[in-house]
Amino acid sequence: MKSSRFQNSYIIFVISIAVILGSLAECRMQNSKLASFDYPAINCRKHSAVLTDFGAVGDGKTSNTKAFNSAISKLSQYSNDGGAQLIVPPGKWLTGSFNLTSHFTLFLQKDAVILASQDESEWPQLPVLPSYGRGRDAPDGRFSSLIFGTNLTDVIITGNNGTIDGQGSYWWKKFKADQLKLTRPYMIEIMYTDQIQISNLTLINSPSWFVHPIYSSNIIINGLTILAPIDSPNTDGIDPDSSTNVRIEDNYIVSGDDCIAIKSGWDQYGIKFGKPSQQIIIRRLTCISPDSAMIALGSEMSGGIQDIRVEDITAISTQSAVRVKTAVGRGAFVKDIFVKGMNLNTMKYVFWMAGSYGQHADKGFDPKALPEISGINFRDVTATNVTFAGKLEGISNDPFTGICVSNVNIEMSEEGSKKKLPWNCTDVAGVSSNVSPQPCELLPEKDKLDCAYPSDKLPIENVQFKTCSF
């Protein structure tokens, strides 16, 4: 039974789902005569089509997998002629997995719902990711994501707050019953791709992770509402993975796992693949996740994580804020992390770093592969109703260094106030300034210090949206 302090999370989730689903029209579009509209995008398209042009039926029962694949195949011929956009009109469009193409926009109108099929035959099988070496749920292959793309350029998934419903309960039950022979599908996965925009949509009930750009670059993810029950397994919201130059902003996430998790491969496989996640900015995020982090760095970080910038973020009834997760065998690094402006309410931990997050891909990991954790900066933090101010646990003979915490005010909960030590620190080194309650001795006070935050802009911050039309 859930504790009472998480009841508000359930209420918010239920209300959010009711509002969204209550507005969905059970209509079927019979032709492509839609009203014109404008929308913001990184690139506009010369050619357009509507899903119903390809025989799609929006009744929530008829499979439209062939219609989606036929539409995208047809529109791919325009990749080198100004690109194309596929409009998904109001209705409930049941489909299995489908693949995107380059210079392409998938646009969901208001009251359009892409509904994920629960027929496993409509989900192609893929090999395991090379930087992971095995599937997350099972050691062999994995199901393709609902919306998938690889080796592309200039891909946009957007809308007027249309909905993608992963119907994840089917998969969650199989996972909990240990009945999966392949890893569950993600909702959106884009691989080996440059220029990605995912924006202005509502995503609900993914089978596993919601948004997973991997081995990709120049990515903007903004204006998403992501909702999953807080007890749903592995429903991470946004997971940039071995990707560079990423902008994540103005998103609202209720999740059964980390709201955002930055990753870069697992143990010896990630070390060998060697592609870091770097140059990532996250701002104006709201997260509810009672059992996980608002933002996790790791635990699969064996390609490295560097130059992560986080600002103006809010967590409510969430286990931890920005958390470092690593272990012996991971290798690589998490360094140059900058966080400013956290507003936290009802948290188990404000600051949490774990050097013993020991899940491994297999027994082949190298116990001598120690991660470098350094240059972790936090400033301007307000937190209320907190159980533990900080739990910072480095690795013996491999301490986490360069930790800086400044201008932090933490109000402990009734339970937290009874604890003798609000901070617990081992194998870490750093400094603090103007922090209440007083940090552990391994973070000694330094007067009038502001922890670092870069003044320059990442290249992705300079990308401007165009006004595109249908």
Catalytically active residues are 257
Environment class of residue 449 by beta-carbon count within 10 Å: exposed (0-12), middle (13-18) or buried (19+)?
middle
Q: Residue 287 corresponds to which tokens in the numbers above?
A: 């997260």
Rounded Cα distance between 347 and 358, Å, is: 23
Rounded Cα distance between 432 and 422, Å, is: 15
Helix (H) or strand (E) holding 176: helix 169-176
User: How far is the CA of 21 from the CAs of 88, 238, 256, in angstroms?
Assistant: 17, 22, 20
Environment class of residue 20 by beta-carbon count within 10 Å: exposed (0-12), middle (13-18) or buried (19+)?
middle
Q: Residue 95 corresponds to which tokens in the numbers above?
A: 């489909």
Please tell me whether the peptide bond between 437 and the residue prior to it is cis, using omega within 30 degrees of 0: yes
Q: Residue 40 corresponds to which tokens in the numbers above?
A: 């913001």
Residue type, 417: S
Rounded Cα distance between 235 and 70, Å, is: 30
Environment class of residue 467 by beta-carbon count within 10 Å: exposed (0-12), middle (13-18) or buried (19+)?
exposed
Q: Where are the beta strands (DSSP E) in 359-419?
A: 372-393, 400-412
352 in Cβ contact with 376 (< 8 Å): no
